């Protein structure tokens, strides 16, 4: 597990996330009662989908979102009360929107927020659900209640949570702090420019 997490800490490409996903999948197949390996398989596939979305290869995203969902479903059966599971589920639902935001936003946005709210209810100290809600709002058009002004309070709250958050172990999820910081900077810059 530690080797895979070390790979995740430095991963910047879809190929590296795929390598990590394969590593965690082997562990998940061997350790069938542990939720973390399956969680990381889901997270890695979600990061591959995110990378493909950023590269505008939306036709390839769905397969990785499906893999992420399958792995997360398996992890959820092992840890149904784990906040991290619901945070990642909210992120996967956000990913479902990318294919066609106008058609799928109305369906998956409420589903994403519901999962993120569950994650917060289970562990209000977990920074990831606040970050993911803020991210979603940041990239939602202003006329739908999104934009930097509306996202900034959640992103700032996530930043406070990231500052004080202590993962239960070195193997537990600890991602999102750097991206949250970037989003705060981006939101503040956009607001300064009057956009």
Domain ranges of the chain: 1-80, 81-195
Identify the helix (H) or strand (E) that includes residue 62: helix 58-78
Q: Are 151 and 165 in contact (CB under 8 A)?
A: no
**CA 127 from chain center: how many Å?**
11
Residue 103 to residues 88, 100, 119, 172, Cα–Cα distance (Å): 22, 6, 26, 35
Is CATH 2.40.50 the classification given to domain 81-195? no
Per-residue pLDDT of the chain (195 residues; tens, 9 = 90+): 999 999 988 888 999 999 999 999 999 999 999 999 999 999 999 999 999 999 999 999 999 999 999 999 999 999 999 999 999 999 999 999 998 999 999 999 999 999 999 999 999 999 999 999 999 999 999 998 999 999 999 999 999 999 999 999 999 999 999 999 999 999 999 889 875
Rounded to two decimals, the pTM is: 0.95
Residue 56 burial class via C-beta count within 10 angstroms: exposed 0-12, middle 13-18, buried 19 and up: exposed
């Amino acid at each position: 597990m530690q080797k895979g997490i070390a790979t995740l800490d430095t991963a910047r490409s879809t190929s590296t996330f795929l390598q990590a996903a394969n590593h965690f999948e082997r562990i998940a197949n061997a350790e069938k009662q542990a939720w973390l390996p399956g969680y990381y398989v889901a997270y890695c596939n979600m990061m591959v989908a995110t990378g493909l979305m950023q590269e505008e290869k939306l036709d390839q995203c769905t397969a990785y979102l499906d893999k992420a969902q399958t792995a997360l479903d398996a992890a959820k059966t092992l840890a149904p009360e784990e906040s991290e599971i619901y945070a990642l589920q909210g992120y996967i639902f956000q990913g479902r929107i990318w294919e066609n935001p106008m058609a799928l936003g109305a369906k998956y946005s409420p589903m994403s927020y519901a999962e993120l709210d569950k994650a917060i209810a289970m562990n209000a100290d977990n920074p990831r659900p606040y970050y993911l809600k803020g991210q979603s709002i940041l990239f939602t058009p202003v006329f739908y209640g999104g934009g930097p002004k509306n996202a900034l309070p959640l992103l700032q709250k996530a930043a406070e949570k990231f500052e004080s958050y202590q993962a239960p172990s070195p193997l537990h999820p600890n991602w999102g702090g750097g991206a949250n910081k970037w989003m705060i900077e981006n939101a503040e810059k956009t607001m300064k420019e009057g956009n």
